[in-house]
Amino acid sequence: MPRAIIVYDTRSGNTGMMAKAIEEGMKEAGVEVLSKRTVSATANDLAGIDAVVLGAPTYHHDLIASMKTFLFEMEKANLKGKVGAAFGSYGWSGESVQMMTDTMRHIFEMNVIEAGLKILRRPGESSLRQCQEFGRKVAEKIKMTRR
């Protein structure tokens, strides 16, 4: 069974809701998923993983500090060619998703999904369905790269 990790942080819960729905979509599509907050995730969690899905909201046009720290932690793992995807809730500009996507592509040379998933503020029912769909899309990409 393919294995993936979702590493995310959230301040007021919106990106956390997205993480849960993405996890559901991936599991439905047959992927084993471990979901962790940035503060408790380490490079050890990335061993033997097929995909890394990162989630962070945008604050002050930037990534939150805990995700920046985790991106440095990711340097310790060899993620070249692995599937990468990013998501996050935002209020008006939402730069965080592109920042995580760019780092996975340019620094870790991962096989990233463009574009990542941005949801405006608190996800409602249809946004949560979009998150589940995004989870299934990540699962499909993992299956294609494992062939």
Ligand X SMILES: Cc1cc2nc3c(=O)[nH]c(=O)nc-3n(C[C@H](O)[C@H](O)[C@H](O)COP(=O)(O)O)c2cc1C
Nearest-approach distance from CB 51 to ligand X, in angstroms: 21
Does the footprint of ligand X cover residue 57 (CB under 6 A)?
yes
Nearest-approach distance from CB 75 to ligand X, in angstroms: 24
Does the footprint of ligand X cover residue 92 (CB under 6 A)?
yes
Q: Which residues of 104-128 are buried (b: 16+ CB within 10 A; e: fewer)?
A: beeebebbbbeebbbbeeebeeebb
Does the footprint of ligand X cover residue 61 (CB under 6 A)?
yes
Q: Pick from 39, 81, 115, 121 the residue near ligand X by CB under 6 A.
A: 121
Beta bridge partners of residue 86, listed in sequence order: 54
How far apart, in whole angstroms, are the C-alpha atoms of residue 96 and residue 54? 10
CA atoms within 13 A on the CB side of 27: 10
Does the footprint of ligand X cover residue 39 (CB under 6 A)?
no
Residue among 12 and 42 whose Cβ is closer to ligand X: 12
How far apart, in whole angstroms, are the C-alpha atoms of residue 103 and residue 117? 16
- Point out which residues bind ligand X (CB under 6 A): 10-15, 57-61, 89-94, 121
